[in-house]
Structure 1
Amino acid sequence: MFLQDCLAVRCFDLFVGALIFVIVLPVMLVIAVAIKLSSTGPVFFVQKRLAQGGRVFPCLKFRTMVSNAEDVLREALAKDPQMKAQWEKYFKLRKDPRITPLGRFLRATSLDELPQIINVLRGEMSLVGPRARPLYEREGQEKNRLFQLGLTVKPGMTGLWQVSGRSKLNFDQRIELEAWYVQNRSLRLDLTILVKTVGIVLRGDGAY
């Protein structure tokens, strides 16, 4: 049954993913040109993320930050204790000094995540699943059962946490939702999450 479920999810990812890719390709080309014209740096941001089983894969996104983003973040956190506290709680910043003007629009509309459809077609991600976690999030989580449970399936372009509050949720709330998803996942649940994601993205809820 487990293998059948995995095969069904993979077939769903390939069919729907390929359809989405064809539809959004013109949009992706326009975004790529806009990024090149508006700021210095590459079109894509490639970050190592945690995949199923704790493996590492190159997660693709459109670049939304300045080219020296890590230096800018480090300096900003050192100067602003409140910003540092927000980063340590959410691993996100509401007013992130690293993000370009175009990047803010891409993030608000979630268009920056469109290249992840390539990750889906390559089999590194699913359309729906837990968040593809950055490597730094696994620090100190070796004995966290809920965190580790989220790594037993492929990460998704969208997931339960994205339709349940997105950036409004803190780290612990996210991993609790993702653990629940893993224990209750089904194609029906995935379809429900995909439909809800469309509404969330159109409204721009919780995105920054």
Structure 2
Amino acid sequence: MRLTGVSLPSTPISGVASLAAVPPRRQYAVTPLALPAVCPAVIPLSVNQCGARMNPLRPSSGKRRTVSLETLAAHHFNQQRTVVMQQKEYNRYHQGWQRPFYGSRAEKEEYRKEIRDLLKRQMLEKWEQQRQLRSSLSREAEEAQEADRLALSRDFQQNVAHAQILRTFRDENKRLMEQIWHQRSLSRLQETTRERELLQYNPLNWSGTLK
């Protein structure tokens, strides 16, 4: 059994109409990605070689900050700078242990010499600290002895002055008491003399009968 072919009518396509139907594409201004050069992690490495940390919100170009400010370059620079600093610290830490284990004979001997010099310097510093401590303790002891001597001398002078004051007070009281006693004796003598004179001029026993 044979099927007869069916032919479908084709729609003609015009090239001009198809181009007119496609909307035009918008063109955007793309800011070029200008990444600053970052130095490799070479030992010895200074952080200043890579420059200071950049502030993404304050570009160094001096342009005015706008809403379309892109901070990709600044963040990339800060990230690379952090990586370089980490590499530097890693190499610095591991290079300290490289010479005594994996270095040559001269490097090992130099490392031992540095250790010996470091120990000698530490011993000298410790001896100097002990000497300063002993000198400070002796100076404090001398100052304490001098303060004790001055305190004893001051107490002795105060005791002498107090004894002198008490002695003066005693002598003055003695003089006043002797003066009072002398005045009393004089007053009694004067009174007795006056009574005798009165008895001579005005006797109580005119007739002499009282014996």
> What TM-score bracket applies, with the shorter chain setting the length?
under 0.3
Q: Give 1 or 2: higher strand fraction.
A: 1
Bigger relative contact order, structure 1 or 2 (CA pairs below 8 A, ≥6 apart): 1
* TM-score normalised to structure 2 length: 0.20
Whose helix fraction is larger, Structure 1's or Structure 2's?
Answer: 2
Q: Report the structure number with the largest CA radius of gyration.
A: 2
TM superposition score normalised by structure 1:
0.20
